[in-house]
Every structure is written in structure tokens, then in C-alpha cells.
Amino acid sequence: MLNVEYPLSGTGPEISFGLEVILVYISFQMFGVFIYRYLTSTFKEQNLRNLAWSMIFLGYGITYIFYIIADYFINPAVRDYFSQYGYISLTSGITLYALLSEYIEKSKWYPVTIFCGTFLVLSIISLILGHRDMTLNLAFLAVPFAAVYILRYFYKYAKITNFNKRVLGKIAGLFLSMLIILAGYFFVSDAMTARFGPDIRVLSASLNIIGVICFMFAILNLPDYREFVWKQHLRALFIVRTSGILLFNRFWKRENKENSNEYLIGGALSSIQTVLSNITEETSINRMELEDKALLFKMYPDKDVVGCIIADEYIDSLNERLNVFLDRFDVMFGGSLKDWDGNTQVFLPLESICDEVFMEKPQTD
């Protein structure tokens, strides 16, 4: 172990100081980006999600302000207090993020918030008692819990789009950036500084900057939070011939007008698709947004079939699910549609496929 003296000085610490200032600037800039999105978003859940993400960046920026003060400027006698202020700032940001996230997700018990809140309270107690080691031990205990939460979050996002490979790549980018940030945060610790010397802070700050920037882009490219609540917006699914004959339908939200005119709706949908097929590529997803609903449809011209979803609003996940459902339909019936005799009973197996793809039973009332 090296005998490291604080405040840090020398060429390495001068470079790391500059990099950590840049890290603070980036963190506050991202806080501003998400606050702006929070103030301008018209969708309530997404609005709060932006506020939640902003708390992460705000907490991280304030944390490094305290670290900079503690390690580069003040008397070593009071350094531990400022370091603990940094821990508390980070924990506060994470706790606020957890609270908002679980509120959005309508969590019953708020387990993550309770855990983070407990950690925050204990950190404050350790500050009052002057036991910095207590805070470090709490941080060590939080690692496996954080790992479970991250894996759960990864799975939840992946499940939204039926484990779509394109979306999985974006999710993988998010958690890779988290690992980079954790690595950078690990190297800023006193233990690493004592082992490798103050110059290790250059590596720490560099990893943090790279991780935060990657984290920012990963978040901005993740599916909209509306993807979490797509079931609430799903109204109906139709499979129709372009001639207007209804082959299969499923209602999630029954409305008298729609329920009593299923065949009429099927004909209308096929007419819309016939018009759009003249200006779009084959098998492409199309959409039409009306005042109170959105229509998503996909056509297989060679099969003379149109698939359509009616939803309260357009949501990307419904595109993915419509694709999956129609691919399954094509596998089962694509080769026999030309010889179809008009008996819709042959399409009853689509009920179980619909349950599987959309993961929800229809309303029966």
C-alpha cells in the first residue's frame, strides 16, 4: 500500500481533477436534458420516467462535487465527512429514482425504495456518528441487491418486445455502460488509490465519463415507457382478407359500436390497407392515427391477408407483436389460404397463439 496524502497533488491528480470536473458537467447537463423532457412530455408515465432518470444524474453530479472538494481542496481532518456527503447524495438520487419508478409501475410494496431508503437513513446515521466504515460496509452489502435489480430490469425490458434482438442490443448497451460506470466508481475508492497511487484517478474519471455518455445514449434509445403499459392501450386484433372477409378477431376492450360491427370494421380495414399498399413496400408495418385511436396494420399481398391492431395510441411494442402473430399465422395457414372454403372454425388455434403473443386473456364481459 502507498502512503497517499490528501489533498491530492501532482500531474496525475491535476489531470484527474480536470476529468472529474468534466464528469460533473456532463452529469448536470444530462440532468438538464431529462428535466427538459419532463417539462415538455405530454405522456404522464413517460413524464415521470424522465424525472426519475434526472434524479440519477443529479445525484451522481453532486456526489462528484463532494469527492472533488474532499480529495483536492480541504483539510484531511474533515475529508471523511465530505466523502460521506457524496455517498448520501448518490444514495438520495437512487432512492428518488426508485420511488418514482415503482410509483410509475404501480408497485404494491415499493421494495426497492424501502431498501434504498433504509440504506440512505443508515448512511445519514453513520455520518452523524462519524463511522465512515459503516457506510462502506453498507455499500458492499448493496452490490448483490443492485445486481438482482439490474437483471430484473433487463428481463423486464426484454420481455416487452418478446425478446426482440434489436431491442436486446440496446438493453445490452445500457447495462454495459452501467458496468463501465461501476468500474470507474470502483477505482475512485480510497483502497484503489492507496494500492495504485493517485494516478489511478485518471483511469477512474475516464471510465466514468465514457460510461455516463454511453449510459445517456442507451437511455435515450430505450423503448418509451409506454411499452410497459401496452396492454392497457390494446383494443382489438383483426385478421381479414383484402376482400373484407374477417378470418379472426380478438377484443381486449369491448365497445358496443365495434362489437356489433366486426365485419364492417374488417371491410374498412382492408380498404385502408388496399390504398396504403400502393405506396408502401410489401409486408411493411403501416399505421394510421385517428382522434381517439391508432390503427396498426401489415399486409401480405401474396397471401391476400391483412393483420390489424386497434389501440388507444401508437406503441412500438404492438408493431413487434403484430409481426410475431402474423408470422405464426403464416406458418400455420399461409399455404392453405388459397383453398380456404370459408369455414372460420379452422382459425380457432389462433386463440392460443394470441394468448401467447399478447400475454393476456381477452375480456369476456
pLDDT tens digits, residue range 175-214? 889 889 988 988 888 888 989 999 999 999 999 999 999 9
* CA dist., res. 305 & res. 240, Å (int): 6
- Residue 29 — very low, low, confident or very high, per pLDDT cuts 50/70/90? very high
pLDDT digits (tens, 9 = 90+) for 49-70: 889 889 999 999 999 999 999 9
Is the pLDDT reported for residue 169 higher than 50? yes
Domains of the chain (ranges, CATH numbers): 11-223 (1.20.1070), 231-358 (3.30.450.60)
pLDDT at 77 over 90: no
263 or 293, which is more confident?
293
Instruction: Judge whether residue 365 has pLDDT over 50.
Output: no
Closest to 164 in 3D by CA, of 1, 318, 320? 320
Radius of gyration of the CA atoms of the chain, in A: 27
Give the other-Cβ count within 10 Å of 149's Cβ.
16
* Rounded average pLDDT over 324-342: 84
- What the block records as the C-alpha cell of 107 is 408497485
Highest-confidence segment of 3-7, 43-47, 94-98, 283-287? 94-98
Name the more confident of 152 and 79. Answer: 79
pLDDT on residue 43:
63
Helix (H, G, I), strand (E, B) or coil at 305: strand
CB proximity list for 7: less than 8 A, separation 6 or greater: 71, 72, 73, 74, 76
Is the separation of the CB atoms in 326 and 312 below 8 Å? no
Identity of the highest mean pLDDT range in 57-61, 243-247, 257-261: 57-61
Model pLDDT, residue 361: 43
pLDDT bracket for residue 96 (50, 70, 90): very high
**pLDDT of 64:** 95
> What nine digits make up the cell of 340?
380456404
Q: What percent of the chain has pLDDT over 90?
A: 22
Q: Residues 104-124: pLDDT tens digits?
A: 777 888 988 998 898 889 888
Q: What is the pTM of this model?
A: 0.68
Nearest to 41 by CA among 168, 286, 225: 225
**Predicted local confidence at residue 362, as pLDDT:** 39
Contact 94, 30 (CB under 8 A): no
Cell numbers 410509483: residue: 103
The pair phi, psi for residue 7, each rounded to 5°, is -65, 150
Q: Which residue has the cell 470507474?
A: 184
Task: Report the mean per-residue pLDDT for the chain.
Answer: 80
With 0-12 / 13-18 / 19 or more C-beta atoms within 10 angstroms meaning exposed / middle / buried, residue 177 is buried
